[in-house]
Amino acid sequence: FNNSDFRQAPYTTKSGSTKNVSNPTARRPSFPPFRITFTADETPSELSIVKDINKHCRISLSYGRYAAAGRNKSFLLYVNSSEQFDRLM
């Protein structure tokens, strides 16, 4: 796993020597997940949560997962763009 802004790519010149070339890579923006906490023992399916939020907020989220911390159940909802993040805020 390489988390740098540039990747080194070696290549061979006509004279036979090897050089490293830096290729800039674009950084994708990342956003913190939204946490939905449940107080009841029964929880809806992951698909139904994502579908309901997409319907009511008019966005197209595609990923969420359940997380448990002790006795608390919560659902982490991940966004892909700044527009989705702004709509959920």
Assigned domain for 43 exists: yes
Is residue 42 one of the residues assigned to a domain?
yes
Distance separating alpha carbons of residues 19 and 12, to the nearest angstrom = 6
Domain count of the fold of the chain: 1
- 8 A C-beta contact, residue 8 and residue 20: yes
The percent of residues above 90 in pLDDT, for the chain, comes to: 25
Residue 27 lies in a domain: no
Nearest to residue 78, comparing CAs of 38, 37, 30? 30
CB atoms inside a 10 Å sphere around CB 81: 14
Residue predicted with more confidence, 63 or 4: 63
Q: Answer yes or no: is pLDDT of 70 > 50.
A: yes
| pLDDT for residue 17 is more than 70 | no
Cα separation of 8 and 26, whole Å?
Answer: 15
Tokens of 25: 């890579």
Query: Tokens 């006509």 appear where?
Result: 14
Query: Which domain covers residue 67, as residue numbers?
Result: 34-88
- Please check whether residue 67 lies inside any domain of the structure: yes
